[in-house]
Copies of this chain bind each other. A is one copy, B any other.
Amino acid sequence: MKEEKEKLFIQMAITQWKISNEKINTVFETISSKQYASPIAPGANSAAWILAHLAGANDNLFPLLTLGDLRFPMINGMAKSNHSPHNEIEKDELKACWLSINSSLLHEFNRMQPEEWFDRHNSISPEDFIKEPHRNKLNVLLSRTNHQAHHAGQLALIK
């Protein structure tokens, strides 16, 4: 019964992440190329930057959760550089990367066992993890889902 609950909340966390991804899928499907290249509000980042930032953040989950290397290092570099225009990636190309990253991640997430989720992520040392056991892979997933929701809220302002 305890084990069932453990699997249930891991599934809940994955589902919240999926729901958030799907909102971004809808953005890719509904915005025009002009909206993609434009700031989402006066003086704010472009939709292209936010979307590249989100794709890079998800791609970064591969090394962070010890699931392998970055799939698209170019995008990841962009996600780290703040506020510069990323219009050099076309919308359809970025969308293809985004879908590919998330599909691979979801495959890995569904394969991962509960003990893997409660293991440390790659940015915390074994010594610190003993003192801070909440800094595990599942917590990264919760935190990244919130990060994505933060930017999804901004993308929802596109008119």
Q: Which A positions have Cβ atoms within 8 angstroms of B?
A: 2-3, 5-6, 8-9, 11-13, 15-16, 19-20, 40-44, 114, 118, 133-134, 136, 138-139, 142-143, 145-147, 149-154, 156-157, 159
**Copies, count:** 2
The answer to whether B138 touches A9 (Cβ under 8 A) is yes
CB contacts (< 8 Å) of A114 on chain B: these are: 5
Given known A41-B42, A42-B41, A134-B11, contact A156–B146 (CB-CB < 8 A): no
The answer to whether B12 touches A134 (Cβ under 8 A) is yes
Q: How far is the CB of A21 from chain B (nearest CB, A)?
A: 12
Given known A146-B146, A150-B149, A150-B156, contact A6–B5 (CB-CB < 8 A): yes
| Cross-chain contact of A2 among B3, B19, B136 (Cβ < 8 A) | B3
CB contacts (< 8 Å) of A154 on chain B: these are: 153-154, 156-157
CB contacts (< 8 Å) of A138 on chain B: these are: 9, 12
CB contacts (< 8 Å) of A150 on chain B: these are: 149-150, 152-153, 156
What are 7 A-B pairs at a CB distance below 8 A?
A5-B118, A6-B6, A12-B134, A16-B143, A42-B42, A149-B150, A150-B156
Q: How far is the CB of A148 from chain B (nearest CB, A)?
A: 8
The answer to whether A142 touches B5 (Cβ under 8 A) is no
CB contacts (< 8 Å) of A133 on chain B: these are: 8
Whole-angstrom CA separation of A153 from B41 in the bound complex: 12
CB closest residue in chain B, given A115 = B5
